[in-house]
Amino acid sequence: MASSNGISKRLIVESPNVKVEDGVLESRFTYRKNHFETRADGLHVIPHEHEYSFKTVLKPRKTGLLLVGLGGNNGSTATGSIFANQYGMTWRTKEGINKANYFGSITQSSTVHLGFDGNEQVYVPFKDIVPILSPNDLIISGWDINNANLYEAMGRARVFEPELQEKLRPFLEPIVPLPSIYYPDFIALNQEGRANNVIEGNNKQQHLEHIRNDIRSFKEKHQLECVIVLWTANTERFTDVKDGLNTTAQDLLASIQRNEEEISPSNIFAVASILEGAHYINGSPQNTLVPGIIELAQQNNVFVGGDDFKSGQTKFKSAFVDFLVSSGLKPESIVSYNHLGNNDGKNLSEARQFRSKEISKSNVVDDMVESNKILFPTAQNPDHCVVIKYVPYVADSKRAMDEYICSIFMGGKQTFVVHNTCEDSLLASPLIYDLAILTELASRVTYKVGDTYQPFHSVLSILSLLLKAPVVPPGTPVSNAFMRQFSTLSKLVTALAGFPSDSDMQIEFFTKLPK
């Protein structure tokens, strides 16, 4: 006898594989995976079935989000937008009346295809498949090297229309970022003038304890069940990764005690988060998540995720190059030019910080190239050039221009030229919410393949959809193709709900379904 369990107000799953008891949704899922063996006579495909059980605590946890870089464009925009949505704010523009929304958020504004009911395609909101937080539920605070309150920071950012800024003033003016860590060697020298809100001294062990205390106080003040620390501050230069410094958790902690110069501010925030049981997400391209931090996260059963928000130009590239390769067209040259005028652009105008961004933006096509040995029989990737220039006048409204040149049929060429005006913080802020919301969801999930339930791996790879240079568990291949990443996430959520995602074959369109 099939059971019927309401998972949300809008979605009811009738299946013997679903059980709800004491606020926990338990689901059984058959994962079909092909295994492969290369033998003398060819590639052998061996289909396997793996039986998974998932347990999902249905009630989302009271969650706090601590932003490193709270007073930056992303921080002030993400915080202000929550108040605008909570109070249903509207504001006038020359095009008409705008109303607060969460467009651009995968969790709040996307839908998942469940199948075809014989009359029409069936889609449901992502947020209705299993219970998840709304951005309105998040409690936000954080740190910044500049002491401007968030109303001042919002005005400096020039993201919101003036009328909306004034409506938000009573909510944002009282919010002043906590003092942050400032090590000038890791960010551009042109940031020195902003650094008037920094933790005193240069003792990194003391800085670690200071940040730990901030996290602890925030959690206690708001009686939080889940805390997430997310870096949305300036891009740092890459730090060295070497034995004795940061390749193990023990070496990393000892390096902080020794005050090693190669320990970055983001390293300190990540370690402080992990030791306080708070999940850590790196929204910038630097290599914060060194092996020692990943090991420390595993030891403390804490999630980490990174690197670098995938919001505008790179998100488009991760979908478009996948389209080209899947169409049998061979990308030969990808040239990406950006100019932007926000503080991120100013910081990236120095070479070492730009190099961090260049790496995260350039690696985004690698897995798509590797997927097609017909087009790319050798290891040679397309020529891929990324340029970023600081142009203060355009402020947060980044201009991204791309040229894609492909080899096509019989020696022909096809060229695509794309001009993309990316309002940087309005694209990045919804990703901040999604990263926090999905991390909180993952904290409520355990699974088993055999006899014992366990949490997901500490490197939370389901966040890859939202990140340019996804950090994945050791030994796991990186996937950057946007729709493949979305499919992975949506199929996981439907599995948690207790039903398989539709195969999208729609075989009933050209055959008869069995009765």
Q: How far apart are CA 239 and CA 245, in angstroms?
A: 10
Residue in 252, 339, 352, 307 with CA at minimum distance from that of residue 467: 307
CATH code, domain carrying 331: 3.30.360.10
Helix axes 150-157, 162-172, angle to 10 degrees: 160
> Can you tell me which residue has the tokens 């791996």?
457
Measured distance CA(411)–CA(409) in Å, rounded:
6
In a domain, 29, yes or no: yes
pLDDT reading at 125 higher than 50: yes
Does 437 score more than 50 pLDDT? yes
Q: Is residue 489 included in any domain, yes or no?
A: no
Number of Cβ atoms within 10 Å of the Cβ of 455? 15
Average pLDDT over residues 466-475: 88
Q: Mean pLDDT: which of 119-133, 254-268, 366-380 is highest?
A: 254-268
pLDDT of 397 over the 80 cut? yes
Q: Is 51 inside any structural domain?
A: yes
The rounded mean pLDDT for the chain is 91
The CATH number of whichever domain residue 103 belongs to comes to: 3.40.50.720
- Checking if the pLDDT of 431 tops 70, the result is yes
**Domain-ending residue, one of 423, 447, 471:** 423
121 domain residue, yes or no: no
Predicted local confidence at residue 515, as pLDDT: 62
Sheet with 279-282: list strands edge to edge.
178-179, 139-144, 63-68, 226-231, 279-282, 304-306
Confidence of residue 87 (pLDDT cuts 50, 70, 90): very high
pLDDT reported for residue 357: 63
Stretch 423-436: mean pLDDT: 95
Helix and strand numbers, DSSP H then E, in the chain: 14, 20
Name the pairing type of β-strands 121-125 and 139-144.
unpaired
Residue with more model confidence, 121 or 85: 85
Q: What is the pTM of this model?
A: 0.92
- Confidence (pLDDT) at 4: 42
Determine the pLDDT at residue 360: 62
The amino acid occupying position 447 is Y
In a shared domain, residues 144 and 250: yes
Please tell me the total number of residues recorded for the chain in this structure.
515
Number of domains in the chain: 3
Shared-domain flag, residues 231 and 338 = no
Same domain assignment for residues 26 and 97: no
CA gap 468, 448 in Å, rounded? 30
Return the pLDDT at 381: 85
Identify whether residues 227 and 334 lie together within a single domain: no
**179 and 305 co-located in one domain:** yes
Q: Are residues 91 and 237 in the same domain?
A: yes
Give CA torsion, residues 380, 459, 105, 154, to 10 deg: -100
Question: What is the percent of the chain where pLDDT is above 70?
Answer: 94
Least confident of 189-198, 342-351, 430-439, 476-485: 342-351
Whether residues 105 and 254 fall in one domain: yes
- Is residue 47 scored above 90 in pLDDT? yes
| pLDDT of the residue at 7 | 47
194 and 169 inside one domain: yes
pLDDT at 8: 45
C-alpha–C-alpha distance, residues 220 and 224, integer Å: 7
We report the CATH number of the domain holding residue 54 as 3.30.2360.10
What sign does the dihedral 283-288-294-297 (CA atoms) show? negative
In angstroms, what CA-CA distances link 356 with 26, 124, 236, 285, 428?
42, 38, 7, 6, 18
- The per-residue pLDDT for range 308-363, each reduced to its tens digit, is 899 888 899 999 999 999 999 999 999 999 888 777 776 666 667 767 666 666 67
The reply to whether 298 and 333 lie within a common domain is no
Average pLDDT for 457-478: 90
**What is residue 345's three-state secondary structure?**
helix
Instruction: Round to whole Å and give the CA distance between 133 and 443.
Output: 12
Residues labelled catalytic = 308, 357, 398, 468
At residue 3, does pLDDT exceed 50? no
Helix, strand, coil percentages, rounded to 5, for the chain: 35, 25, 35
Alpha-carbon span 425 to 81, nearest angstrom = 11
- Residue 453 in domain: yes
Q: Could you read off the pLDDT of 289-306 as tens digits, one per residue? A: 999 999 999 999 999 998
Give the integer Cα–Cα distance in Å for 362 and 326: 20
Report whether pLDDT(120) > 90. no
Mean pLDDT (whole number) for 202-207: 97
**Residue 262 sits in the same domain as residue 292:** yes
If asked whether residues 175 and 271 sit together in one domain, one would say yes
Residue 2 has pLDDT above 50, yes or no: no
Q: Which domain holds residue 168?
A: 63-109+127-309+426-482
Residue 138 sits in the same domain as residue 253: yes
Q: What pLDDT score does 10 carry?
A: 61
Q: Do the domain assignments include residue 488? A: no
Of the candidates 338, 310, 362, the residue with the CA atom closest to the CA atom of residue 482: 310
Asked, for residue 491, whether it belongs to a domain, the answer is no
pLDDT band (50, 70, 90) for residue 513? low
Instruction: Please report the DSSP string for 264-285 in residue order.
Output: -HHHHHHHHHHHTT-EEEE-SS
- Domain boundary (382, 397, 423) is at 423
Task: Classify residue 514: in a domain, yes or no.
Answer: no
